[in-house]
A and B are shown apart, each in its own frame.
Chain A
């Protein structure tokens, strides 16, 4: 690589690197059709090609690559969940993330900042201790810290007793990180394409043809194609796409909003979350404060922003960092989060033989992009639910075996 860089530096022209394929015709059929070219769909395609040698694959998206929640999230990666099933799963993803820039030969700007989840009440402190113990048991670095140590980890944080809800302690998770989300989608897309996968943007799936309990064809705005297997990875549109296949999901689509401030000099190293105040904040490499909270109060298929959200968010950010009072918000946006009742995903086999699902990513799915891609690829290639995914199977709600992660995922994403 350094030699290549030198050669590149001495060239006369600097053509832009092409990440994604030019528009081509759709073939009549594919071994596997993946609906949704977000990080999850593209990562599944990448690992199908890399690990299983399956390259007769088309990834279809109604918009553009990464235009869904993949390009809208606040890019937090962490493994400090509450259930052993969740911790094991997200820990595998963190480990994949740590090597991802090298793997994809693209700098995803993975930046380990440390992740602090503040507790302002005894009850919250108890949950933090619970999470710390579950994490440690599974080899994930997490510990409870108190104000004296917090003052060293994050000197800017207001720790005074004059706050409305003084900080009592925090769950400290050193491997917590942020990354450049677009690069993750482009890197997986590029790697999949280089191995023979087709990526078709502006190609909306409008229905499925079914026969004998199987999906036989995929109807799109560019014609109908045959498919051996189908994987849907459409986040906010999960219920709409699943309904085309006749499947009803435990999912409600709810907007999740976020915003960034004008760029400031670097001052905030860790990612700071407060469940009680419904806020989280980190500082990006460009100096912007990236801020968000919990989902909107009711379901909606729209990406609009609201003033109510910002008022509530900023008021609470100022409780933690009062000196930001005169800083301006620069940009705001929203994504459509596919929320499950237990705050865990829905992954793997469905009641239809050759139809697979990767959904229920709500507000927490960016960090799972590598692991879900890798394990869904395994699931499609073998036709079996991998062990690590079995807690997240779709029919867990029929047997009342939810994987309750609300305590670890409702505000900190």
Chain B
């Protein structure tokens, strides 16, 4: 059984987690369609080390994992606050 280390809940069975795709900068709300299409549909699909959003489903906790997509090795997991320190304001 493969184990992933959840920053909130500790080591848990991989089947408790959901992969949310690569961490990428979101376009500005008014950005062109092409920028949104790229963000929503296109993928780097890197063969190598990637930085991804993951969720521990039973607790709905989202965090970031670094993983090698060739070896299936999980290198590091950490809270999203390490990368996203400021609150995103969608009102404007």
Contacts and interface: CB of A to CB of B under 8 A. Distances in A.
Interface of A: 237, 239-240, 248-253, 297-302, 304, 306-308, 341, 397-398, 400
A248 B69 contact: no
B82 interface: no
A300 B69 contact: yes
A252 B18 contact: no
Contacts, number: 56
A304 B21 CA distance: 21
Contact of A248 (B15, B19, B38, B47): B38
Sorted from nearest, which 5 A-B pairs have the closest CB atoms?
Answer: A239-B45, A298-B19, A397-B41, A250-B41, A301-B47
B37 interface: yes
Interface in B7-57: 14-15, 18-19, 21, 33-34, 37-38, 41-45, 47
Contacts of A397: 37, 41-42
Contact of A251 (B19, B34, B45): B45
Given A298-B19, A341-B41, A398 B69 contact: no
Interface residues of B, number: 21
B70 interface: yes
A248 B44 contact: yes
Nearest to A302: B72
11 contacts: A239-B47, A250-B43, A252-B45, A253-B47, A297-B15, A297-B19, A299-B19, A300-B70, A301-B47, A302-B72, A306-B2
Given A239-B45, A251-B45, A301-B47, A308 B72 contact: no
B91 interface: no
A251 B71 contact: no
B1 interface: yes
B37 A398 contact: yes
Contacts of B47: 237, 239-240, 253, 301
Contacts of B19: 297-299
B18 A301 contact: no
Contacts of B34: 398
Interface of A is mostly: loop
Nearest to B19: A298
Nearest to A298: B19
A311 to B, nearest CB: 10
Given A239-B43, A299-B45, A300-B72, 5 more contacts: A239-B44, A240-B45, A250-B41, A252-B43, A297-B15
Contacts of A250: 41-43
Nearest to A250: B41
B43 A302 contact: no
**Which of A240, A252, A299, A398 counts the most chain B CB atoms within 10 A?**
A299
Contacts of B42: 248-250, 397
Nearest to B33: A398
Contact of A302 (B14, B33, B45, B70): B70
A240 B48 CA distance: 11
Contacts of B43: 239, 248-252
Nearest to B20: A298
Contacts of A306: 2
A109 B18 CA distance: 40
A286 to B, nearest CB: 32
Nearest to B21: A252
B13 to A, nearest CB: 9
Interface in B36-92: 37-38, 41-45, 47, 69-72
Nearest to B46: A239
Contacts of B69: 253, 299-301
A298 B34 CA distance: 26
Contacts of A239: 43-45, 47
B89 to A, nearest CB: 27
Nearest to A395: B37
Contacts of A304: 72
A308 B17 CA distance: 14
A239 B48 CA distance: 12
Nearest to B54: A298
